[in-house]
Each structure stands twice: as C-alpha cells, then as structure tokens.
Structure 1
C-alpha cells in the first residue's frame, strides 16, 4: 500500500473542503443535510472533473492502529493537499471504504466538520482494506476550479475526466483460478473495449477492482503496474467482494470520451463485439450530455421491525431504495431513463434476490445503466442488505 496514517490536529480539518473558496455556481446540491455532512445528490454542469485514487491514512512509525477520527483526518488532509495542488475546487462525490459498521457510523458522524457547507454526495461500503492497521479509505471527485488550466497529468494519485463525452464501462471479469491471470486478462478485455470505443489506455481516468481476497491486493497492483508499464500510472480503487473461485476479480473503468459530434444523443448504451446485450445493465454507457448527477448511496427507509419475513424485507428494501432514487432524480431533472452508472452493494441473500427480481421493472431494457453488483460483508448499516450508488444525467436538453 502506498500510504498509511498519521495523527493530525483536529483544528486543521476545519480548513478542509466546503469553504466559500470551494463553492461553484454551476453545482446544484439536492437535500443538503438530510444526512449531515452530505447531499442526497449533486448536479454538475460542463465541468472538468478530478477523480482521485484510493487515499489511505499515513502510517505512523510504530505501525499501530490509530483512532477512526485520526485516520479520517489523515485521509481528508491528504485529499485537501493533493486537490489544492491541481487547483481543484468543490468536492462533488466522496466514496468511503471502511472495515466495519461501527467505523462507518463514526466516519459518517464526522463528515460535517469537513463539509460544513457545499456537501458532496457520499457513498460507503464495508470492506477489508490492504493494511490491517487501516480502517478508513476514500476517493474523491472534485471539479477543476480554473477551466483554462492545463490538463492534469494522470498518476496513481488522480486522473482528470475532461469536459466532453464520459465513458463508464461495467465491471468486466475474465475467469481464471489465478488472480494474476484473471487480472491480466480482464485488463486486456477492457483495452479491447476502449479500442471499440475509439479510445485508448491513455483515456483511462480510474479503475475500480472488486477482488478476493483483499490480502492478495499486491498481486492486483503488480499486474496493473505491469500492464500499463511505460504509460502514466492509473488510479486504482480496491474493494473486497464475495465471488466464485474462478472469478476472483472484476474491474470497471471510467474514461474520457473526447468531444462528441454535434448530433450525438445525450447518452449511448453500447455493447462491444463478442459480448451479449443484457436488459438490466449495459456494457458501456457513453455520456454526451454536459451534465452529471452524482447520487449518494441510498438505503431503505422501510420499518424492518414490522416485517420479520426475510423475503418480504428484501422486496421492501429494494422498493424503498428505488422510490428514493425516483424522488431524487426528479429533483435533479432526471429519471430512470437517464441513469448512466450503477454500483449495487448487497450483503444479504434476500436483498440480492429481490434486486434481481425487481430491477427489471424499473428500467427500460433499451436504456439500463452500466453497472457492477458486488456481494460484500456489509453495506454499512446494521440489518440492511442493499445500498445503491448511482450516476445519472439530466433529462433536459443541454
């Protein structure tokens, strides 16, 4: 792992994002403070965006485990420093990776001190992390404050998603019992997808890998480094998932799509050669609309105590989350026909089965979002089995 944690003065964290200098008039934040420290959704128009790599707390000399507060402070301070170096402005999306539900609760409770205003959309998942001394990690999406500045050079720390078309590729997985071989072959498959789209490795902004077991993360990192040797390093996000032995890894990517033709549709749902065309997700979604909507991770609001039956709870959980999604999309001038990317984290068989059963009823089979579905230990909230992380575009003409 390239970073660990250090103790930081809490007073320094008050200087983090959310101040007036980070605000941006082109950003709309929906339902700020419904969950303190976050917005239910953030709408960005015609912006250059910075995606960071996964940031871990800095290591201390004795390699002891610091408190959750100190680890989160380290992550936030590093993000602040890195983003300031490239003149990045407001944070519009924050993705948290934590090792337990108790850590999740503590991290979420601390967010208002880092984002007293201009809160980002926030998603969270429980996962093992590369170091046993680390309980918190994060990646950030931020706007470029100066539209005239040079393109930010890609590195393991960050990549720029420029204005123009944006490409979201669903998780791809090549089967092999060897994690190294599966990683290498999946990266080759993703490269073929980019060629189909008229793009190249140079257009990659970020990779996200769902792997098992996390303790073998160095194998994945080594394969990624070797595959892109001689090129700029690629930001890599790691999440542990539960999968069959022959599918130890799935990788999704975000890439720059170039300037779209004047007559390009706002969204394109594409299938590379040799792949099937599913009806509940698409292989690739290319956004040509200038607007992007980041939706916070959604959780069911149904009363679980009134429904002891597991299957019924699963259905109600999915229905509640999609009802919330419909509401927030409406507030952002969007709908289910304009979803670009979905990440479904499931931690119960009931929620997973209900999602598979009910999801087709919400989507137009000609326009489903690119997606990854990952079985995980926990979605971060006790007794719930589903959270959804969504990206959409406005349904209005640009």
Structure 2
C-alpha cells in the first residue's frame, strides 16, 4: 500500500487535489483519526512483499482505487479512479415514504449500505453516488448528510438531480457504483430482500475488466409499448456485439411521469423473462418521448476487438453523430469517474456550459485522459437554453469520430441555485 499526495493549480472548483491509492486489495476501510484531506485507505490484506514491490509491479498486479478530492465543499466534488477492480452496480433505493427529509435520507442511506454490504463493500469504496431528490430543499438535506458520512479524502464522485420519484411519498433515491472487497469470475446478482414493484435485484457485480455503455434509447410510442420497443432495441444491439442478457449490469430509465415507472418495470420483466433482471434506476424526465432507457454491461472477452482502450459502435443503418455514439466498448479496466459538474458562476446557459467544459478538460488532463477518451456522458438540463448550450458546445471539444455514449435529460433541477445544467462523465486514461 502507498499513499499518493498531489498538488495542482486551482482548476474550476479545484482548491486542492488529494489522491488516495489502495494498491493491495482495495478491501478494507481506513481507521479513523487520519488528517482531513489525506485519509489513507488501508488494507489489512497488504503483505510485506506487496508493500516492497515496485510501483509498476503493483500497478499491474493489484487493484487500485483512488478518491481524488477536488474541493473542500463536500462530497459533490471528487473524481475517482479504478484499475483492475471488480465493480458493483446497485439498484435505486428509497427511504421510508412520508417521513421528513432527514428520516428519508437516513433510511435511504441505510438501505444503500445494506445493499453494499451484501457485495462486501463499505462506504469507503463507493466510486460514484447518484442522488435524486424531489425538491432543492430535500437535496440540501442530502448534501448535509453526505458531508458527514464520508471520511475526508474518501468521498466519491457524486451527481445531484432534482426530480419526482416513482413511489408515492418518497423524496430521496440513491444508487451507487462501488468496488467490492472480493474478486469474482462472473457476473453475480443479489435478489432484492424487499421488492418494491420497481426492482427485483439489489445489485450486480462484474469481474475486473471492460464495460459497455449504451446511450439512452428513446421511443415515442405510448407506454408501455415505448418501453418494450426501447428494450428490444438495446437487447438486439447487445446481441450484435456478442453480449448476452447475463452481461447486463444496470438499466437507467428516464420516464415521464415518474409514476409510470411500474409500467416500465413490467416491460423489463417481460424482456428478461427467464433471465436475471439487472438493477434499475429511475429518473423523471421532461421530453416528447415517454421513456428513454440506457444500459451498462460487462464486456466479455469474446466481444473484444483490437487493443485500443475504447471502441465506438453505431448499429448498421444508424448515421453516426459527432456528439454521441450509440455504444462505447471500454476495453480496459482503467476508469475515471467525474462527478456532476456545474458552473462555478451563475449566468447564461452558454456561459455555464463553457465553464463546465473548461473544468472537464482540466480534470481529464489531471487524470491522464483527454477529449478522445470519453466513454459515457450524462447531461442534465432544466430548460431549452441549457439543452441548446450543450448541443452547441460538444462539437467544439469532442472528436467527431469518437464522441462518448450519452444521454441528455431534461429534469426539474441540478441541485444548485441559479444553475441550469450539469455534466458527469466516465473516461479512460490515454494509453494501454
């Protein structure tokens, strides 16, 4: 095990940057009492031989999990990096309905940690956390709560969204990506202990290796047919890439209104009839189509082509877009997760977009990545101006032959006053 501490010039929200690297197992959390901002993620499984090995040997033989804190403002502003790690994708969990904001946040958090415990995880190994709240006031409660539960230096990348949720009386929904404490050699799933009509699986864990990101697939037919059509298209594309239903790790559903989520889940059950159903996450969106569904899957060895870390795929007959790719295959186990970035300053949507993309460029560079190595983007916008600003700025930065898989989602808020858009991203480092 070693601890890496880096300092860089302020970038966007960046006040300082601290990297925590667990090079010998990523398996247990750090003991309390470490200095703020430089907490160690220690492993009791570290061995003298591992500790004395060279850096290059450790990087090739052991898993790495880094939490890179880019602001003292709280858990919203962290970048996380994984290498050689299996990953857990959870379902969306909720707190008890009709409770106040604090009790709902506590309840949702308890359910999330229970799901992670099944997968031999704890909160120190969360890579990305997605927080959906029904109001900005509720989201503020969530932010304050999360600022206390993560130990300094071990905060994940967090994305905040304001949106109605699918269950009556529920105000907060959480889902996460995390690193488990045990290796696996195949995709494993855990059935939900308390099915809520929207999920039958608590989490899926995939072995260390590549992933496949599918852009959101909308359909303008009425529900439930729209959901059936979107799922059929995704599964047909997966099959063309030599992926099976068993490789699918998570579905993200954007639906309007959120109360129609149960209809969508019924179509998911039919699409996966006789097969394991992946965890599902729901967000209400505002769009002309009633539903859009995106997907993440494990990349099986038989689907790997060439040695490039990213492969960009558009199905036959689909005209490539310079701003998003239908499917991006990540052919490396090295991933960089960036949080939901918002502009440092209020202002017109185009100015906000410019500020966010400046931050993105700086953060990508700090992690050894660039605009040609983007795997998955999610753009949350609150109005037409914000949507247009995202459309206008992407061609200025993205390589037109290799843009990321993406979804652009109109929501009710991005969690910050006077901000109308946020962007989160998954990238890979440049090089093998």
Q: TM-score of the superposition, structure 1-length normalised?
A: 0.87
Distance 1:134 1:292, change over 3 A: same
Aligned runs of 1:181-330 on 2, under 5 Å?
181-244=225-288, 247-259=289-301, 261=304, 263-304=306-347, 313-330=348-365
Write the distance in 1 (CA, Å) between the matches of 2:276 and 2:187. Answer: 14
1:81 aligns with 2:104: no
Decide whether the 8 Å contact of 2:189 with 2:202 is kept in 1: no
Decide whether the 8 Å contact of 1:50 with 1:159 is kept in 2: yes
CA RMSD, aligned part only?
2.0
1:56 aligns with 2:66: no
Distance 1:18 1:316, change over 3 A: farther
Decide whether the 8 Å contact of 1:167 with 1:286 is kept in 2: yes
Q: Deviation of residue 162 (structure 1)?
A: 2.3
Write the distance in 2 (CA, Å) between the matches of 1:269 and 1:396. Answer: 16
Return the match for 2:30 from 20, 30, 34: 20
Match of 1:13 in 2: none
1:173 aligned counterpart, secondary structure: strand
Write the distance in 2 (CA, Å) between the matches of 1:169 and 1:300. Answer: 27
Write the distance in 2 (CA, Å) between the matches of 1:160 and 1:203. Answer: 10
Aligned runs of 1:139-154 on 2, under 5 Å?
139-147=175-183, 151-153=187-189
Match of 2:210 in 1: 165
Q: Deviation of residue 201 (structure 1)?
A: 1.2
Distance 1:371 1:114, change over 3 A: same
Greater mean alpha carbon deviation, residues 68-77 or residues 314-323: 68-77
Match of 1:361 in 2: 396
Decide whether the 8 Å contact of 2:75 with 2:157 is kept in 1: no
Decide whether the 8 Å contact of 1:32 with 1:119 is kept in 2: no
Deviations 1:303-357 (A, max 9, x none): 53xxxxxxxx111100000011111111211111111000001002222111111
Q: Deviation of residue 159 (structure 1)?
A: 1.2
Stretches of structure 1 that go unaligned for 5 or more consecutive residues are: 1-16, 60-64, 305-312
Q: Deviation of residue 151 (structure 1)?
A: 4.7
2:377 aligned counterpart, secondary structure: strand
Match of 2:47 in 1: none
Deviations 1:20-73 (A, max 9, x none): 2776771122225433134421001111100000011145xxxxx212221111
Decide whether the 8 Å contact of 1:92 with 1:120 is kept in 2: yes
Write the distance in 2 (CA, Å) between the matches of 1:223 and 1:254. Answer: 18
Match of 1:335 in 2: 370
Q: Deviation of residue 287 (structure 1)?
A: 0.4
Decide whether the 8 Å contact of 1:205 with 1:254 is kept in 2: yes
Match of 1:395 in 2: 430
Kindly report structure 1 stretches of 4+ aligned residues shifted beyond 6 Å. Answer: none
Distance 1:314 1:396, change over 3 A: same
Write the distance in 1 (CA, Å) between the matches of 2:326 and 2:42. Answer: 35
Write the distance in 2 (CA, Å) between the matches of 1:97 and 1:170. Answer: 20
1:116 aligns with 2:130: no
Match of 1:137 in 2: 173
Deviations 1:246-279 (A, max 9, x none): x211100000111265842110011112322111
